[in-house]
Amino acid sequence: RSAGRQAVIVTSGAIATGLALLKLEKRPRSIAKKQAVAAVGQIALMHAYRAAFARQGLPVAQMLLTHEDLAHRKRFLNARRTLQALTAMGVIPLVNENDTVASEEIRVGDNDNLAAMVACLWEADLLLLLSDIDGLYTADPHRHPGAQLIPVVHALDEHIEAYAAPSAGPTGVGGMHTKLEAARRAAEFQIPTIIAQGRENKLLSRLWQGERLGTVILPLGGERLPARKHWIAYTLKPQGTLQVDGGACRAIVQQGKSLLPSGIINVEGNFDLGEAVVIADEQGKALARGLVGYSAREITRIEGHRSGEIERILGYRYQDEVIHRDDLVIL
């Protein structure tokens, strides 16, 4: 703040704090018990943050989100306006997933991906993910002493992702695997990510001074994905899959065309009009995501047919495209 920078903190710890207060050794399995533990821990967690920042004369605000809040476009924009208002007032927002009400269907699931969503929501200049190790290594440094730190990642390809096997501790979720997922979300929005050791002394000030710490994951280059399309691709949870033939693949990927019913060969899932789905090729590889103009039941009836036949088959026609190109994002 003294250097003129604004920050939003995405914090984990409500459930872990609740476990400690309730003297429980293991994370509960049932959703109801997790929510109860989170409710106990949330108060103590925010009290600790408030006390810590008060010593610096800085006010803080709590902001609890679920995936449902971010998936609903109006609530997404409301959350953005709230963050912008808080930071404009000199308040440091403390964002956490609302574990007290979130069910599996509306959970983000880990704070790394939540942090990336918030970074894109707020249009941040940097996403900083704190870890218990110094960054991304060529192997798990806890198990392999000879593992080497990777200082810069230019592209999150399969070679890099192989270094981050999924893992999680007893009181949390995620690990380096989820941090790379989060970095990919941010990179698509042209936001760089730094993964660094959370216990590093004066980490932020040293980073601002240009010291190389942790692993820097650079954005992809080119133009920033438009905010709405990034929201479709990286915030909404797909509710199904549309498998398409080779001609439709080429039209979508190479020519930027809409998805028509004639190119669809299979429908998976039970989704409604306006929900997000994955578009996959004949081998099942995901090519794109988009918002459907018809429900799964309707698409099953019109798949393989020309757009001019939709009204004859259904008795009505909303639009010629199953997914319009304005609602479609290439992955």
One domain for residues 110 and 196: yes
Give the chain's domain count. Answer: 2
Provide the pLDDT for residue 155.
86
Cross-strand bridge partners of residue 291: 276
DSSP character at residue 307: G
Collapsing DSSP to helix, strand or coil, 96 comes out as: strand
One domain for residues 197 and 291: no
- CA triplet 96, 183, 331: central angle to 5 degrees? 115
Full pLDDT tens readout for the chain, 331 residues: 777 789 999 998 888 899 999 999 888 888 888 889 988 999 999 999 999 999 999 999 999 988 888 888 889 899 999 999 999 999 999 998 886 665 554 456 688 999 999 999 998 999 999 998 899 998 888 888 888 999 999 988 888 888 886 554 443 444 888 999 999 999 988 899 999 999 999 898 888 888 999 999 998 776 778 888 888 988 898 999 999 999 999 999 999 999 999 999 999 999 999 999 999 999 999 999 999 999 999 999 999 999 999 999 999 999 999 999 999 999 8
User: Each residue of 62-92: b (16+ CB within 10 Å) or e?
Assistant: ebbbbbbbbbeeeebeebbeebeebbeeebb
Nearest to 63, CA basis, from 77, 84, 87, 82:
82
Provide the pLDDT for residue 32.
85
Nearest to 19, CA basis, from 3, 4, 7, 36:
36
For residues 288 and 243, is the Cβ–Cβ distance under 8 A? Answer: no
Segments forming the whole domain that contains residue 38? 9-226
Provide the pLDDT for residue 222.
66
One domain for residues 136 and 258: no
Amino acid symbol at 27? R
How far apart CA 194 and CA 181 sit, in angstroms, is 13
For residue 296, give the CATH number of its domain: 2.30.130.10
One domain for residues 88 and 166: yes
160, 165, 169, 175 alpha-carbon torsion, rounded to 10°: 20
Provide the pLDDT for residue 79.
92
How far apart CA 262 and CA 305 sit, in angstroms, is 5
Provide the pLDDT for residue 118.
94
One domain for residues 128 and 194: yes
Domain's final residue, options 226, 257, 280: 226
Pairing relationship of beta strands 215-217 and 193-197 according to DSSP bridges: antiparallel
One domain for residues 19 and 58: yes
How far apart CA 81 and CA 20 sit, in angstroms, is 35
Collapsing DSSP to helix, strand or coil, 273 comes out as: coil
Region at 4 (left for phi over 0; alpha for psi -120 to 50; beta for the rest): left
pTM of the model: 0.77
Provide the pLDDT for residue 108.
61
Please indicate, yes or no, if residue 231 is contained in any of the structural domains: no
One domain for residues 174 and 44: yes
Provide the pLDDT for residue 165.
64
Please indicate, yes or no, if residue 232 is contained in any of the structural domains: no
Please indicate, yes or no, if residue 3 is contained in any of the structural domains: no
Nearest to 195, CA basis, from 286, 133, 271, 250:
133
